[in-house]
Every structure is written in structure tokens, then in C-alpha cells.
Amino acid sequence: MQGGTTTTPEVAPGQETDLSEAFAKGWRVIVWNDPVNLMSYVVFVFMRVLGFNETKAQQHMLEVHEQGKSVVAIETREKAEFYCHRLQEFGLKSTLEAAAA
């Protein structure tokens, strides 16, 4: 069709991998144990930030406490970064990790 505009984004060779990595739920959000944060506080933060119900928040808190860490979310890069940052805003020790790592 003449005069029409194309709406299909052009993807340069090599960019496909970056895009699929960014949108795939391939990023883990990990919360690490620390001696200061209270168990009840960690449960509260999990419920507020991650939207967990109390039972799920308790399970993850106990995992952090007993095993030293817990994977609290597996998400797209953007969302994982958001959760990780929010958890740090509350003083929890959290990191991001590629799921394949």
C-alpha cells in the first residue's frame, strides 16, 4: 500500500536475544538473611512489596532464616529490578540473578 506507514518495529540482527531476555521471566529476586531485620518485619515487607498472603510470606521468611536466602520472585528484568529496589527501600538485603545463572 502506497503512502502507508509501517508499524512493525525493525529489529537489527542480534537484538532479538536482548529483547527476548528482557521480556522473559528469567530474573530471580533473592532475599538474603541478615541478623537485624525482625521476622515479623520481613513478613510484613513481603506482603506489602510482593503482595504475598501471610502464609506465603511466612514460608519465604522461614526459608531466608533457615537456608540463608529465598527466591521471592522470578520475573522479567524490569519487574525484578522494581521488586529488588523496593525490598532494598525497606532495608532488606536483596539481589537480582539471571535464572540461567
Binding site for other proteins (CB under 8 A): 35-38, 40-41, 44, 48, 81, 84-85, 88-91, 93-98
- Nearer Cβ to other proteins (25/48): 48
Kindly state the smallest distance separating residue 38's Cβ from other proteins, in Å. 6
* SS3 state of residue 99: coil
Cβ proximity of 61 and 43 under 8 Å:
yes
Kindly state the smallest distance separating residue 79's Cβ from other proteins, in Å. 14
Kindly state the smallest distance separating residue 98's Cβ from other proteins, in Å. 8
- Nearer Cβ to other proteins (1/101): 101
Cβ-based neighbour number of residue 31 at 10 Å? 26
CA torsion, points 54, 60, 66, 69, in degrees to nearest 10?
Answer: -150
Grid cell, residue 36, equals 537485624
